Structure 1
Amino acid sequence: MSTWDVGTKGATAHARRALPLVAATAVLTAGCGGGSGPGTAAGEGKLADGKTFTMAYASDPGNLDPAKTVMSIAIGINRYLYDPLIHLDGKGEPEAGLAQKWKATTKTATFTLRPGIKCSDGSALTASDVAANIDYIGDPGNKSPLAGVLIQPGTTAKADDARRTVTLTSGAPDAFLLRNAGSVPIACGKGLGDRSALAKGGKGSGTGMFTMTEAVTGDHYTLTRRKDHTWGPGGSKGDTKGLPDKVTIRVIPNETTAANLLLSGELNASAISGAEQKRLAAQKLFHADVQAPLGGLYFNQGGSRPGEDEEVRRALVQALNLPDVGKVITNGTGKPSQGLVTDEPRACTGDSVTGNLPGHDLAAAKSALSKAGWKPGAGGIRTKNGKKLTLSLMYGTQNGPSMAAGAELIQKEWKSLGAEAELKPVDSPALNSTLFGSGNWDVSMGPIALAAPTQLVPFMSGPTPPKGLNFSGVDNPDYTALVQKASAKVGAAGCPQWQDAEKALIKNLDAVPYYNSLTPVFGKGARFKVSQGAIVPSSIRMYAN
């Protein structure tokens, strides 16, 4: 999900305040007000050592076990704690991470680790540690949400500790195997035998530039820099001048509060998706921008839910002026969606949305409901077999007040259709537990952030929770067939089939992507780059006041 901010892909996202579900393998380019990148910045002064970088997230991350989450906020924190085998540069090309060499097909991949990598407890990272990470996700019995997203179910790995090599055999063909498997966050040490420790930040089990030193659920998380870290992206090292000694992540649900703290200097970074953007931009604060698929609808097709009927889904979509809803949820700063994969650089490009979603037509929507057996009842509310057309509409509170306003607009337009919508605001952990746990929902506005079309597959096909990630209960034979064809081709060679697969979902209204936002991550007293929907820890630079 994920955005699942799926990404990490699971999963988003990120200093991505906006994304609950994310697949974290994309590299997002940073757009900077008043400068670009983490180097010397006009008005920031000189690089300073010994500082604390304080940033805000709108929700608690929940479970921090890197193999047990696709929630963007958890993924954003884990970027500090765990490194992947490879990074992606601005063009989407692989560069060294924990691995210094690699090769891959659609079925197998081999990674050679850099020498001298240490876990945060001082022990050496071994090829066996890496293989254990892969095996855990690939084992269906462990029910990792990354299974099918980054690692195919049934995938196994073999390690040669002497040669520092890990060779994995994918449980199913993966067109982007190198990109996906290489993005798995790697834990080591005692955490591999104690997942409960990983759930709390895995002290001593990290491979990243920082280690967790304090965790107060719902309030703050403190991380301390490892000066012995020498294997960051682009050759970055933990003893570089200007890096913060500590990182404090504060849980601040209210965007106005976060904006005020930025301006006062109590925060160094926060993603702002709502109206506070204008106030901060007017102060010419530095910002790195994240494209986020905020405008998306997903219908629960399980059991006797209204969304099970395609005609009902069609009527509900036709009743909405989606461009207007999109402008509301993005405060007029977004643009229409072109596909379900949004994290740049995308593995496949193209437009799978235009011409495949029904346009706004209230009369046609009412007609479609009538054909589906829903007739006007008392007060104009549609009924069928004595049951009112009532829907729960779930949206993320971490997405800011504009998402609530968008939900209210949808509620109003559905009322004109004769459908009642009960608004259900939830934070990221609650969204996760509802979609993948209780299943008690009708329509979700929770976005999914993806970098490669393969990462969408487990969310739109296969087993439903708790056995799988197909949270909507989608059963689309056309999509499944096209995925099989695309999966047999390496990388971009299968992009035409991947695009057709997306179109099959959208035409059937199994997924309704309609608007993307450009969410700025504002900074004060610090600069940074954004990659894979989150701040790159090694890119942070602190400045003297």
Structure 2
Amino acid sequence: MMDKRTLLKLVVLAFGASILLLVFGYTSGPKIVDEHTIRYVLEQEPSTLDPAKSSTSPEATVQLQLFDGLVRLDDKGEPEAALAKSWTVSDDGTRYTFHLRPNLKWSNGEPLTAHDFEYAWKRTLDPSTGADSAYMLYVLKNGEAFNNEKADRDDVGVEAIDDDTLVVTLEQPTAYFLKLLASHGYYPVNKKVVEANENWANDAETLVSNGPFKLLGWQHNGEMNFVKNENYWDADEVVTKTMNWPISESQSTRLTLVEGGEADMMVEPPVADQQRLEEAGLLHIGPMLGNYYYLFNVKAEPFTNPDVRKAFSMVINRKEIVKNIVKGGKEEAYAFVPYGMLESNGTEDFRETGSYLVYEDVEQAKELIKEAGYDENHPLPPITILYNTSEMHKAIAEAIQATWHKAFGADVRLQNQETKVFLANREAGKYQVARASWVADYGDPQNFLEVFSAEDNDSQYHNEDYNELIAQIRSTPDGARRDALMHKAEQMIFDESLVMPLYFTTQPYVSNGTIQNYFWTVLGQVDFKKAYK
């Protein structure tokens, strides 16, 4: 028979174990959850949280909680002072002098200085880094030249003249530069941490940041746990002390977590549930400057022929896809640059000024396929649509599969992959057709047009005339001429039929109403800096 002393020991051990499970979880690393913890379901496992190397919207959403730049976007999408307390601009608009706040610190307590910005930006541009974000820094003097090994590191237009002062020189006046500074490509990084471990941004134990929160634990493909960063410059404005973010690529799983009381908010609920959720007051629509499209590999048959690419795009009924599959306030896309960005006159929307660049015509599409040499005796080769795992991606791919088979008799197959593998294969050109999306890094049409000018763009497209056009857009100070050049560049994308646009994005999300004072940026990221439960 168990005596009272032994029983008491077991009770104490059990209680201690329960506390440990509360704090450290089972396998997820450190974890603290209480009734005030913000529980947001992340829709995708981040490949990395390195500001230079990240490339997806979910990664940027995580980074928004962990990092701060010189400025931060407010709830209206306008830049406000963050690590920079003030700045001045030269009369010609090409030289910015930023004055940092005093006593800035990293999450590990080390001093954060202007030198960290200089190091981070030059590291992103260094060709040996292989940074996906490098193009975002091409506005810096010699930024593109350094990235293309045509200039030296010291030639780049960023210099910390002391710990508190950063001087930035641009190639030419850039009206959206301050907005650009709020994007992840311009976050500072800790040199000592980065150089000590090349995988520093892939684990909670090694990741050092400077934002409202810091990463306490990261169970890959499971969950992320955050705590308030006591070393944050604006810590007094951060109300929430803990956040728990489960990770799931499954829309149904994310919704179940919220409706089952295990989470507070999730994005992209299943289409089949949206009407029910809207009637219950749980569905909300956030802003997002972005598009959803299919990408053709221009080096893979049969898509080496631009007329074939055009034909495959012409048979798609975008209205039906949006109405029956996507929903969530989306709008069908007949061009690449979305609505919501103004021309230089400050009044006209770029998209509204531009014309439709894609037309739907099944009979003409069939003629183009015949002219390309494909018929009953010479059928199209088998075609595989590559997409990353998601109910919606699958549903869209199945609709397109059926459409292409009906229109052309094409043998269309579907292949889904986990996101990390999918992104790697798409970047390497190991596909024929692949789903893609682009969410703006900053609110200017140029950000969308530059997708096809990068040397390693996923469509495997390289055109010196197009690259030259993008270079002119970057260097043209005259607003009206720059608008015209951007419209010309977008037209070239469709003259070559590089993409098959489907719809312009919004950010539908489900909230149980317990989180207060958060907001969605125009870039489709939720900011929990001042949020609370």
TM-score interval (norm. to shorter): 0.7 to 0.9
Which amino acid in 1 is paired with 2:82?
G
Aligned position for 1:61: 46
Q: Say which SS state the counterpart of residue 406 (structure 1) adopts.
A: helix
- Partner of 2:249, secondary structure, is coil
Using the TM superposition, give the Cα deviation of residue 247 of structure 1 relative to its aligned residue in structure 2, in angstroms: 1.2
What are the equivalent positions in structure 2 for 1:101-116 lying under 5 Å apart? 101-102=86-87, 103=89, 108-116=95-103
2:387 partner amino acid: Y
**Do residues 394 (structure 1) and 390 (structure 2) align?**
no
* Map of 2:7 onto structure 1: none
Aligned equivalent of 1:298, options 295, 318, 322 = 295
> Which residue, out of 455, 460, 483, partners 1:495?
483
Distance 2:420 2:173 in 1: 31
Shift of 1:206: 0.8
Q: 1:84 aligns with which of 39, 45, 69?
A: 69
Whole-Å separation in 1 of the counterparts to 2:395 and 2:214: 38
1:288/1:506 CA distance change after superposition, 3 Å: same
- What corresponds to 1:197 in structure 2? 200
Which residue of 2 is the match for residue 271 of structure 1? 267
Question: What is the CA–CA distance in structure 1 between the aligned matches of 2:296 and 2:279, rounded to whole Å?
Answer: 39
Q: Is the Cα–Cα contact under 8 Å of residues 338 and 351 in structure 1 kept in the other structure?
A: no
8 Å Cα contact 2:336/2:490 also seen in 1: yes
How far apart, CA to CA, are the structure 2 residues paired with 1:342 and 1:195? Answer: 36
Give yes or no for the alignment of 1:124 onto 2:114. no
Q: 2:253 aligns with which of 257, 269, 272?
A: 257
Give unpaired runs (5+ residues) of structure 2: 1-32, 147-155
Q: Specify which structure has the bigger relative contact order, considering alpha-carbon pairs within 8 angstroms and separated by 6 or more residues.
A: 1
Query: Which one has the largest radius of gyration?
Result: 2
| Distance (whole Å) between structure 1 residues aligned to residue 205 and residue 135 of structure 2 | 24
Inter-partner Cα distance in structure 1 for 2:426 and 2:209: 29
Judged with a 3 Å threshold, the aligned counterparts in structure 2 of structure 1 residues 393 and 492 are, in CA distance, closer, same or farther, namely farther
- How many Å separate the matches in 1 of 2:318 and 2:418? 24
1:456 aligned to which of 448, 456, 465: 448
Q: Which residue of 1 aligns with 2:14?
A: none
Could you say if the C-alpha distance between residues 107 and 326 of structure 1 is closer, same or farther in structure 2, counting changes exceeding 3 Å?
farther
1:56 aligned partner, one-letter code: V
Q: Deviations over 1:439-493 (max 9, x none)?
A: 21111221111232333355202422xxxxx111223455334323321234955
Q: Choose from 266, 280, 284 the match for 2:281.
A: 284
| Mapping of residues 138-537 of structure 1, within 5 Å | 138-151=125-138, 152-153=143-144, 154=146, 155-162=156-163, 164-169=164-169, 176-183=176-183, 184-188=186-190, 190-193=192-195, 194-201=197-204, 203=206, 205-231=208-234, 238-240=235-237, 243-275=239-271, 276-285=273-282, 287=284, 289-291=286-288, 293=290, 295-302=292-299, 304-331=300-327, 333-337=329-333, 339-342=335-338, 349-351=349-351, 355-377=355-377, 382-383=378-379, 388-398=380-390, 401-416=391-406, 417-437=408-428, 439-450=429-440, 451-464=443-456, 470-476=457-463, 479-490=466-477, 494-524=482-512, 525-527=514-516, 528-531=518-521, 532-537=523-528
CA spacing shift, 1:462–1:208, aligned 2, 3 Å: closer
**In structure 2, distance between residues paired with 1:442 and 1:341:** 23
Name the TM-score, length of structure 2 as normaliser: 0.80
Query: Which of 71, 84, 88 is the aligned partner of 2:56?
Result: 71
Higher helix share: 2
C-alpha distance in 2 between matches for 1:71 and 1:492: 30
Aligned CA distance change for structure 1 residues 500 and 139 (closer, same or farther; 3 Å): same
Identity of aligned residues (%): 22
CA distance in 2, matches of 1:361, 1:208: 50
What is the CA-CA distance between 1:245 and the residue it aligns to? 1.4
Partner of 1:3: none
Cα displacement string for residues 311-334 of structure 1 (whole angstroms, at most 9, x for unaligned residues): 111111122222222333413732
SS of equivalent residue, structure 1 residue 130: helix
Does structure 1 retain, via aligned residues, the 8 Å contact 2:258–2:265? Answer: yes
Does structure 1 retain, via aligned residues, the 8 Å contact 2:43–2:250?
yes
- CA deviation vs aligned residue, 1:271-297 (integer Å, no higher than 9, x gap): 124322223323223745133645312
- Identify the range of structure 1 (311-320 vs 417-426) with the bigger mean alpha-carbon deviation: 417-426
Q: CA RMSD in A?
A: 2.9
Structure 2 residue matching 1:62: 3-state secondary structure: coil
Separation in 1, partners of 2:479, 2:198: 36
Structure 1: stretches of 5+ with no match in the other structure? 1-47, 232-237, 465-469
Deviates more, 1:337-346 or 1:215-224: 337-346
- 2:439 is aligned with what amino acid? A
| AA partner of residue 301 (structure 2) | R
Describe the shift of the 1:477–1:251 C-alpha distance in structure 2 as closer, same or farther (beyond 3 A): same
Contact 2:240 2:530 in 1 (8 A): no
Cα 1:131–1:452 change in 2 (3 A) is: same
Query: Cα deviations across residues 498-538 of structure 1 (Å, max 9, x unaligned)?
Result: 23322221333223323124332222221321113211121
- Alpha-carbon separation, structure 1, partners of 2:93 and 2:459: 28
Q: Give a deviation string over 1:74-93, Cα, whole Å, max 9, x none.
A: 11111111112112345543
Aligned counterparts of 1:409 and 1:186: Cα–Cα separation in 2: 43
- Partner Cα separation in structure 2 for residue 306 and residue 206 of structure 1: 46
Structure 2: how far apart are the matches of 1:343 and 1:66? 27
Contact 1:339 1:353 in 2 (8 A): no
- 1:443 aligned partner, one-letter code: V
CA displacement, residues 313-365 of structure 1 (integer Å, 9 cap, x when unaligned): 11111222222223334137321237534485667732279754343222211
Cα separation, 2, equivalents of 1:389 and 1:328: 29
CA distance in 2, matches of 1:301, 1:106: 39
Per-residue deviation, residues 99-128 of structure 1 (Å, max 9, x unmatched): 122337775543221222211011111111
Query: Counterparts of 1:354 and 1:444 in 2: how far apart (Å)?
Result: 26
* CA distance, structure 2, for counterparts of residue 498 and residue 356 of structure 1: 15
Instruction: Indicate if the aligned counterparts of 1:149 and 1:458 stay in contact, CA closer than 8 A.
Output: no
With over 3 angstroms needed to count, the CA separation of the structure-2 counterparts of 1:505 and 1:445, relative to structure 1, is same
Distance verdict in 2 for CA 1:537–1:339, change over 3 Å: farther
